[in-house]
Structure 1
Amino acid sequence: MLSLLMTTEYAPAEDRYELQQMLIHIAGGEHEALAELYRRTRTAVYGLALSYLKNAHDAQDLTQDVYVQVWDCAGQYRPTGSPMGWLLTVCRNLCLMRLRREEHHAALSEAEWDALPAQECGLDADERLLLQHALASLADGERRIVLLHAVTGLKHREIAALLELSLPTVLSKYHRALKKMRAYVEGDGAK
């Protein structure tokens, strides 16, 4: 189960290229490209929004706002950068603006963790619940880093740039979070 969280490779070059091409087509006004980008990246965007906003409804709304923003600003994307990193930066910025505006810091409920799509994770319902509890036991910063790595597939250096943290800080928080989750899953933290 934790091996899902410990993967280090994501976006093969062809996936990055395809996402870049979608952004170029979106900048050219192609609605189909936006629909495909949404289909391929919505889980990652929603996961990041949920980690910031801690409310499933707000995260769903903000996810939609991200794609509206992408439609409006796709021409600003430069193919030299990571397309997923750019998309998640848009999401992060919208989350931070909403948090500043609303000063909203509620606790994340189990039902809201349930809102994370279960697609392709290969976990049964009990394992998924255990993983949700293990994630909920983490500090906000640790949980955000784990979700960014596991859900979006970002590399640690990309997470560091996105969250404006140093790479050693991201690596430290990530490994500390995995240790906490492993202890929880093995029974030391589970009740």
Structure 2
Amino acid sequence: MLSMLMTTEYAPAEDRHELQQLLIHIAGGEREALAELYQRTRSAVYGLALSYLKNAQDAQDLTQDVYVQVWDCAAQYRPTGSPMGWLLAVCRNLCLTRLRREERHAALSEEEWDAIPARECGLDADERALLQGALASLADEERRIVLLHAVTGLKHRESAALLELPLPTVLSKYHRALKKMRSFLEGDDAR
């Protein structure tokens, strides 16, 4: 289970190219391309939104807002960057705008963690519960860093740029988070 979190290259070049092509088609007004982009990226967008907003309904609403924004602004995407990075930057910006507007911070409930789409991660219910528990043991920033790398496939430098953190900070928090998760999964409470 942790091996999927430790992979360094999640999104092969052909996947990046396909996402870039989808964004180009969306900029040209093709609704089918937007539907395909949504199907391929919604879990990552929802996961990031949930990590910021800490409310399942708000995260679902914001996920929809992200794709509306993508439809409106796809022409602004430049194929020199990571398409997933651009999409997650849109999500992050909308999350921060909403948080500034609402100025609220709440704990994530069990039901909200359970709202994360299960079929996307390929885990059975027990493995999923263990992973959710391990993720819940992390600080918010650590959780975001792990999710950005493991779920969305962003490289650490892309995560650092997205979160506006120095790369060494992201790397150390990522490795510290993995150690915490490993300790949690092995039943060792000495973090």
Per the alignment, residue 84 of structure 2 pairs with: 84
Instruction: Write out aligned runs for 1:96-115 (5 A).
Output: 96-115=96-115
Letter in 1 for 2:184: Y
Following the alignment from structure 1 to structure 2, what is the Cα–Cα distance between the partners of residues 174 and 161?
15
| Counterpart position of 1:9 | 9
| CA distances 1:51-103 after superposition (whole Å, capped 9, x unpaired) | 00011100000000000000000000011111110000000000000000001
TM-score of the pair, normalised by structure 2: 0.96
Q: Which residue of 1 aligns with 2:21?
A: 21
Question: Per-residue displacement from partner, 1:2-47 (whole Å, max 9, x unpaired)?
Answer: 1111111122111111111111111111100000000000000001
Q: Are 2:53 and 1:40 aligned?
A: no
* Separation in structure 2 between the aligned mates of residue 131 and residue 49 of structure 1, nearest angstrom: 18
Tell me the residue number matched to 2:57.
57
Note the residue ranges of structure 1 that are not aligned, 5 or more in a row: none
Identity across matched positions, percent: 88
The residue that corresponds to 1:182 in the other structure is 182
Larger displacement relative to structure 2 (146-155 or 94-103): 146-155
The answer to whether 1:119 aligns with 2:119 is yes
Cα offset for 1:124? Answer: 2.1
1:169 aligns with 2:186: no
2:145, 2:37 → 1: CA distance?
A: 23
Separation in structure 2 between the aligned mates of residue 5 and residue 115 of structure 1, nearest angstrom: 20
| 1:125-168 CA-partner distances (Å, limit 9, x unpaired) | 12211111111111000011011111111111110011011110
Moved more, 11-20 or 162-171: 11-20
SS of equivalent residue, structure 1 residue 59? helix
SS at match of 1:152: coil
Question: Residue type of the partner of 1:105?
Answer: H
Please identify runs of 4+ aligned residues in structure 1 that moved more than 4 A: none
Give the drift of 1:120: 4.6
Cα distance in structure 2, aligned partners of 1:79 and 1:13: 13
Task: Specify the alignment match of 2:134 in structure 1.
Answer: 134
Structure 2 distance, partners of 1:106, 1:120, is: 26
Separation (CA, whole Å) in 2 of partners of 1:113 and 1:150? 16
Structure 2 residue runs without a partner (length 5+)? none
Q: Tell me the secondary structure at the aligned position of residue 68 of structure 1.
A: helix
Q: How many matched pairs?
A: 190
Which residue type is aligned with residue 42 of structure 2?
A: R
d(CA) in 2 for partners of 1:189, 1:120: 29
The AA in structure 1 aligned to 2:57 is: H
Q: In structure 2, what is the Cα distance between the partners aligned to 1:122 and 1:62?
A: 24
Alpha-carbon RMSD: 1.2
